[in-house]
Chain A
Amino acid sequence: MRRSELVAHPLERLIAIAGWGAMLFLLFPVVFTTVVSFGAGELIEFPPAGWSLRWYAHIGEIHRVGAAVLYSLLIATCAGVLATLLAIGVALCLVRLPVPGKAVIGALVTSPVAVPIVALGIALIQFFIWLGISFTWYSLLIGHLVLVIAYPVRTLVASLSLSNPALEEAAASLGARPLTAFFTITLPQMKPGLISGFLFAFLISFDNYPISIFLVRGALTVLPIEVFNYISQNFDPTPAAFSTIYTLLLALIIVWAERRWSIISLSVASEGGPGGKRSDR
């Protein structure tokens, strides 16, 4: 007993140090970008020699930033809503129905890293060419949908697994038809999963560069592409100012959603995969 305590102590310390180190490492780019964005100089410098807010006023100078924001919002909102709606069906299948091979389906659908993004982008391009679909906002939307659907499936599977199937039976015994029971009982149980699933899907889509760069043509553009284009031609802190605002907004949304619906714990709870916890009767 005493021996193991003696051994454990320095190890725990080491783990704590490693943990803090990793956290700082992860936080550093955010801190760096934020500090840089307030610099007064023409070029990115760290730490800045002088302080100014002028790069925030300069965000509008990013080429086609208005159109890019609108397109990004449109694509991300549509991708988020569609992915969440589709995910309701997928999650219901995975959690409640005796689908053969559902472990495999679940693993595939819930794992966005199962297919490398570059491969996915190439596949999408060829798919659209083969179908003869033009490269416009809805083909980009389809691409984003493929990318983001994993997130709402995950959160919905989690919230469905946590909800008690006896609730629907209780509703039925009280006279609710299956569809009424679904809308009055099942769907409200899925609410945290719906909200967080939509949020994740929206944010992943809004943020996405690699899929977009494959699928964006002509007048269509999205925010990450324009920001990247700006960076490749300029070396002033405007993108840093943009990033700072973006990070702040994101953090606010996530904190608010976590407080209200504990979305982070939900996405962690789904790590076990669909059908992992609940045994079917």
Chain B
Amino acid sequence: MASVQIDDLHLALGGNPVLNGVSLELADGECVALLGPSGCGKTTTLRALAGFVRGDRGEVRFDGRSVDALPAHRRNVGLVFQDYALFPHMTVAENVGYGLRMRGQSRSAIRASVGEALARVELSGFEARLPAQLSGGQRQRVALARAIVIEPDVLLLDEPLGALDRKLRDGMQVELKRLQRELGITTLIVTHDQEEALSLSNRVAVMFAGRIAAVDSPAALYRRPPRADVMAFLGRANFLLVTLDPAGVSAGVETPMGVRLRAQPADPLRVFAARAKAQLAIRPEHVQVRRASANAQTGEFSASVVDLIYRGALAEVLLQASAAGGPVRLSADLPAEGLNIQRGDTVAVRLPDEHCLIFEENGA
């Protein structure tokens, strides 16, 4: 086991810059999810850790020692590929034992370790099967067993649940988490699925355009993202253009719907100019909606229900409010049970101050 430091990694592939100064640290035994849209460089970062590509600039260190000069086969990194990359001509036992064979272990030692690894992923008894005879979920477990049996310093998972269907994903998610906790291997999970990232890791690093945009615990990153684009990528969010009070951001913001809110800047150190334009963001689950009544309360504004999208436990309510400079659209997640509003209704909407975040106007 080892800690990992990625230090200002730059890399261009075929003339295109892919990594533009990636810096990320993983503490020994920590599980970090690297989350980003496709093409953001997250897989390339993983490949740089594995030793398949080398940065043009910057450094990768395991336990403080540079591994840039080490080829992939000497890095002791466990890797689970997105498509698992099981050796099709080898049985499950041969697949899992391959890394131990390369380390020159004896047959009996290999057999024992393979049995143990397969037991860990609950695949005992599958030793003699070929990958083609396994289901997707089973292949995933074999790939995992093959990666952990070599007792790697670092475990790299490339979209580990991407190829599984919904139900299997939920099961594997729990199991991956259990395994990571039990083994305590430093783990990097590369994913574009924010739910996967939030649920599997101790920390989430959000990556855009070859750079790490934000790193924090899943809860902190979800609740208080430092940047608007991070907030938009991690779950859903409503964004509104607002005007800051002349007395400064702490004095409140003027929304286009006419209500004033006392929202907090996402970055407490950020200084906003008075009367500046800014972005206000709020998660749909924090938008409060109630049926309009005659006695409107302060802080509420009225909106009409444009559509209702049923999502099981929640219903997403699409709202349209009239505002200065054209109507504003918002979405609100409400418990589906006991929902007493319908399309076309007029409702009273409140954006609670404590859930509103202020970002710079340009999105950063």
What is the interface of chain A, defined by CB distance below 8 A to chain B? Answer: 164, 166-167, 169-178, 180-181, 184-185, 188-189, 191
Please tell me if the beta carbons of A170 and B81 are within 8 angstroms of each other in the complex: yes
Taking CB atoms and an 8 Å cut-off, the chain B residues in 110-146 that contact chain A are: 146
Given A174-B150, A175-B150, A176-B73: A169 and B102 interface contact (C-beta under 8 Å) = no
Q: Is B88 an interface residue, CB under 8 A from the partner?
A: yes
Closest to A180 in B: B102
Taking CB atoms and an 8 Å cut-off, the chain B residues in 6-27 that contact chain A are: none
Closest to A173 in B: B79
Residues of B within 8 Å of A, CB-based: how many?
Answer: 26
Please tell me if the beta carbons of A174 and B98 are within 8 angstroms of each other in the complex: yes
**Which residues of B lie under 8 Å from residue A176 when comparing CB positions?**
73, 98, 102
**Which residues of B lie under 8 Å from residue A164 when comparing CB positions?**
83, 85
Please tell me if the beta carbons of A169 and B150 are within 8 angstroms of each other in the complex: no
Q: Is B166 an interface residue, CB under 8 A from the partner?
A: no
Please tell me if the beta carbons of B73 and A175 are within 8 angstroms of each other in the complex: yes
Given A173-B50, A175-B103: A189 and B89 interface contact (C-beta under 8 Å) = yes
**Which residues of B lie under 8 Å from residue A167 when comparing CB positions?**
85, 87-88
**Which residues of B lie under 8 Å from residue A184 when comparing CB positions?**
98
**When chains A and B are docked, how far (Å) is the Cα of A189 from the Cα of B90?**
11
Taking CB atoms and an 8 Å cut-off, the chain B residues in 55-98 that contact chain A are: 71-79, 81, 83, 85-89, 98
**Which residues of A lie under 8 Å from residue B74 when comparing CB positions?**
175
Q: Is B310 an interface residue, CB under 8 A from the partner?
A: no
**When chains A and B are docked, how far (Å) is the Cα of A173 from the Cα of B48?**
12
* Interface class of chain A by DSSP: helix
Please tell me if the beta carbons of B89 and A188 are within 8 angstroms of each other in the complex: yes
Q: How far is the CB of A261 from chain B (nearest CB, A)?
A: 12
Interface contacts beyond A171-B87, A173-B73: sample of 5 additional A-B pairs, CB < 8 Å, sorted by A: A171-B98, A173-B50, A174-B99, A174-B146, A175-B74
Q: How far is the CB of B265 from chain A (nearest CB, A)?
A: 42
Closest to B143 in A: A170
- Number of CB contacts from chain A to chain B under 8 A: 65
Given A188-B89, A189-B89: A173 and B83 interface contact (C-beta under 8 Å) = no
Q: How far is the CB of A234 from chain B (nearest CB, A)?
A: 51
**Which residues of A lie under 8 Å from residue B88 when comparing CB positions?**
167, 189
Q: How far is the CB of A278 from chain B (nearest CB, A)?
A: 13
Q: How far is the CB of B106 from chain A (nearest CB, A)?
A: 16
Q: How far is the CB of B270 from chain A (nearest CB, A)?
A: 40
> What are 13 A-B interface contacts by the 8 Å CB criterion?
A167-B85, A169-B81, A170-B85, A170-B86, A170-B87, A171-B73, A172-B52, A172-B73, A174-B102, A175-B74, A175-B102, A188-B87, A191-B89
Closest to A181 in B: B73
**Which residues of A lie under 8 Å from residue B98 when comparing CB positions?**
171, 174, 176, 184
Closest to A164 in B: B85
Please tell me if the beta carbons of A166 and B81 are within 8 angstroms of each other in the complex: yes
**When chains A and B are docked, how far (Å) is the Cα of A280 from the Cα of B89?**
24
**Which residues of A lie under 8 Å from residue B146 when comparing CB positions?**
170, 174
**When chains A and B are docked, how far (Å) is the Cα of A185 from the Cα of B52?**
17
Q: How far is the CB of B284 from chain A (nearest CB, A)?
A: 38
Given A169-B50, A169-B52, A170-B79: A177 and B85 interface contact (C-beta under 8 Å) = no
**When chains A and B are docked, how far (Å) is the Cα of A189 from the Cα of B89?**
7
**When chains A and B are docked, how far (Å) is the Cα of A178 from the Cα of B72?**
10
Please tell me if the beta carbons of A166 and B73 are within 8 angstroms of each other in the complex: no
| Most chain B CB inside 10 Å of its own CB: which residue of A164, A175, A181, A188 | A175
Per CB-CB distance, the 9 closest pairs between chain A and chain B, nearest first, are: A174-B99, A175-B102, A172-B72, A166-B85, A170-B85, A173-B79, A188-B89, A172-B73, A176-B102
**When chains A and B are docked, how far (Å) is the Cα of A169 from the Cα of B81?**
9
**When chains A and B are docked, how far (Å) is the Cα of A166 from the Cα of B74?**
17
Please tell me if the beta carbons of A185 and B102 are within 8 angstroms of each other in the complex: no
| Most chain A CB inside 10 Å of its own CB: which residue of B74, B79, B83 | B79
**When chains A and B are docked, how far (Å) is the Cα of A164 from the Cα of B139?**
15
Partner of A185, one of B76, B83, B87: B87
Please tell me if the beta carbons of A173 and B72 are within 8 angstroms of each other in the complex: yes
**When chains A and B are docked, how far (Å) is the Cα of A198 from the Cα of B34?**
47
Closest to A280 in B: B14
**When chains A and B are docked, how far (Å) is the Cα of A133 from the Cα of B166?**
69
**Which residues of B lie under 8 Å from residue A171 when comparing CB positions?**
73, 87, 98, 102
**Which residues of B lie under 8 Å from residue A191 when comparing CB positions?**
89
**When chains A and B are docked, how far (Å) is the Cα of A185 from the Cα of B89?**
8
**When chains A and B are docked, how far (Å) is the Cα of A279 from the Cα of B143?**
24
**When chains A and B are docked, how far (Å) is the Cα of A180 from the Cα of B102?**
9
Contact string, B205-231, partner A, CB cutoff 8 A, digits 1/0? 000000000000000000000000000
**When chains A and B are docked, how far (Å) is the Cα of A180 from the Cα of B81?**
20
Q: How far is the CB of A238 from chain B (nearest CB, A)?
A: 46
Please tell me if the beta carbons of A172 and B71 are within 8 angstroms of each other in the complex: yes
Closest to A281 in B: B13
